[in-house]
Amino acid sequence: MPSLPFALNHMTAPGLSLDAFFALAASLGIGSVEIRNDLDGNAILDGTTPAEVKALAERHGLAIISINALQRFNEWSPARADEARDLIAYAAACGAKALVLVPKNDGTGTADGERQANLRAALAALKPMLHAAGVVGLVEPLGFEICSLRSKREAAEAIAAIGGGATFRLVHDTFHHHLAGEPELFPALTGLVHISGVDDPTVSVSDMRDPHRVLVGEGDRLDNAGQIRALRAQGYAGPLSFEPFAPSVHGLADPQAAVAASMAFIAAAA
């Protein structure tokens, strides 16, 4: 088994079926995975039942960390509540420990005062739903300048304000942490770390986007190794989940070898 607690998000190899994705994780000695609800032709969108997902994970000896994700969670509405209810029920039934909560990222709801109020209202509504199901809410601030929740401190303050410390945790995404420029780490409140690198030497930080996110290697500009070292030194011992979005990664003929190389690089550097 790897010395670091690596995990694998299905976005690492979105072209694989769930069975093949789980097999990939197991072949790497990785014991934890994240499934997604945004991959066409795959669970959850293809109608795969949570019981089938649970059985498949058990067959491969895997724990499901999360379903990724409830999008625009901080734009609360009756429709969003219904979507949250369905995803939370699916998570509980398939054995997923958590549901990732992603804020709206279209330039709206960013005003000071408005964004904090929207965040607290959404968390307060989600809290009893998650608690009843025994599912953790993983709040993931995004570093993009247009995002309605960029700051982990703002998320932490909102969780405290609604008494959500037993229900919610933060996602520390190494890409978004770098983009946000927020120095604080909040390791005690962190429930999951997403890892990906950017090695394009020409793109400015403000222009970095999901398609720039590759597997972490020697050319990484985000200092994944330093971020992981700092988090672990401050007490974080949870999973480090690969989440690259670059088409170059998704098109790899041998993702197993590429992820294994990235795991070895991070283990040596962090």
What is the mean pLDDT for each group of 10 consecutive residues in the chain (270 residues)? Answer: 85 97 98 96 90 98 98 98 98 98 97 98 98 98 98 98 98 98 97 98 97 98 98 98 98 98 97
Provide the pLDDT for residue 191: 98
Q: In this predicted structure, what is the pLDDT of residue 1?
A: 38
Taking the alpha carbons at both ends of the chain, their separation in whole angstroms is 17
Say what the pLDDT of residue 42 is: 87
Q: What local confidence, expressed as pLDDT, does residue 95 receive?
A: 98
What are the structure tokens assigned to 255, written together?
């993702």
| b/e 131-147 (16+ beta carbons within 10 angstroms → b) | eebebbbbbbbbbbeeb
Report how far Cα 246 is from the mean position of its chain's Cα atoms.
16
All domains of the chain, ordered by start, with CATH? 10-205+230-242 (3.20.20.150)
Whether the full predicted model's pTM is greater than 0.85, yes or no, is yes
